[in-house]
Amino acid sequence: MCSCKCTFTKIALVFTVLIGAGLLTYFLVPWDDVWDDIKENIDGNKNESNPTSPPTPKASSPYKFEFMQCPEKDEGDCCNGLETNCKLLVNETMFATMNNANHDKPPLANHKEDFEGGLDAGYRGLNFDLCSCDDALIFCHGDCALGRKSVKDAFTKVNNFLNKNPTEVIILNIEMSIGNPTPQDMWTLVSSIKGIEEKTYEHDDGGSWPTMKEMVDDGKQLIIFKHNGSDCSGKNGCTKRGCTPKIIEFFDYTVGTKHSFETISDIENRGYSCPVYRGEDSTKEFYSVNNFVTHTEGGGHGYGPSETSAKTLNCMEFLHDRTKKCEKKTGFKINMLQVDFWHIGDLPEFVQRENCARGNGICDFPEIPITNITKEETETDSEVEVEEETEVDTNVEKIKSQRIRKPDE
């Protein structure tokens, strides 16, 4: 009798474990991404077995985009891949930016490839989360076990890239995260890397930002911002405990959108996804816009960054539409446009096209039809007013009126 009872108990326990594992799998696995990967593999196999089958369309340009569009050496200036960028102020320039650049390994990764490849592709903005785990500084993401990357190794790779590309300027934005690390802690760790200190720009609080050419000519190829953690804001913020003038308080100078969005529809709603939610008291010299979906409600979408959404969000047409809508909505020019899954889509190319227009340049880019331009640019004022009647608009207008004007405005 005891034997039967014990066996029944074991069977019940096994079933309980299996049911629990099934529920966890259902809620945590991003099934949308899984099914997309399966479909891509099936389509790829079909194309291989039948050479006459048309290739499956990808969420990217039909040609390989060359980010570096500068003249030959000694024939003109070059700043972040374009000659026309050189006359732009740093805070007039757009930077293709990776969200959580350190998190490129599962689970819950923001990218499938490491950030060094993104630098080669044209990304010039990197966001990292700094953590203090087991008395050691590392980059992680929300947990010491996720997105782990050596701080010194990451800075060494950035430094090596800048050594090989002396015309390029990179912006880092470091979130002070788990374990209450300080900017000074990080600077003490990385300042010993040969060349980092000389390349890092220090901003004169209250002064205007330099042009990209001035940055390059002075050998200042790196701007390091931080947010959260130690309060390093204000005119004398860099002298506060744990702070350093080499690492600048991001929201002293920047306004930003909401951090994350649950769906593409949330991002398409400009009354929700474009207004300023962070940095309301800043000088408003930079505008940071997040353009990625992070599932937090589970279900069939799973949890975490959505690669499926990136296939829409990172494409030329969507990037153009989002940029124009947010700039029209807020009156600010976007500086940091942040995405997940950097290897998908067209952000570096879009940024170069945008920067070329800002510099009034004539750039040799192939024409790409953007079907939504006409619809967006022909909206009537009454239609815009109806769409934008939200509570946040009053706050946005207040923020706009406080904006510090640039010297050339």
**What's the CATH number where 393 sits?**
3.20.20.190
Assess if residue 4 is contained within a domain.
no
In a shared domain, residues 221 and 103: yes
What's the pLDDT score for residue 176? Answer: 98
Assess if residue 59 is contained within a domain.
no
In a shared domain, residues 311 and 362: yes
Question: pTM score, two decimals?
Answer: 0.81
Number of domains in the chain: 2
In a shared domain, residues 17 and 156: no
In a shared domain, residues 147 and 202: yes
Assess if residue 48 is contained within a domain.
no
In a shared domain, residues 25 and 133: no
Give per-10-residue mean pLDDT for the chain (409 aa). 58 62 52 50 45 41 76 86 97 98 97 97 98 97 98 98 98 98 98 98 94 98 97 81 96 96 97 97 98 82 90 98 98 98 97 96 75 42 40 44 38
In a shared domain, residues 28 and 132: no
In a shared domain, residues 260 and 206: yes
Assess if residue 52 is contained within a domain.
no
In a shared domain, residues 26 and 88: no
Assess if residue 56 is contained within a domain.
no
Q: Which residue reads 């929300």 in tokens?
A: 142
What's the pLDDT score for residue 347? Answer: 98
Domain with 210, as residue range(s), is 84-401
Assess if residue 1 is contained within a domain.
no
Whole-number Å distance between alpha carbons of 58 and 72: 32
Residue 355 has which token pair? 């920067």
What's the pLDDT score for residue 23? Answer: 52
In a shared domain, residues 143 and 239: yes
In a shared domain, residues 26 and 153: no
Assess if residue 189 is contained within a domain.
yes
Assess if residue 309 is contained within a domain.
yes
What's the pLDDT score for residue 377? Answer: 43
Whole-number Å distance between alpha carbons of 290 and 100: 12
**Is it true that the peptide bond before 369 is cis, omega within 30 degrees of 0?**
no
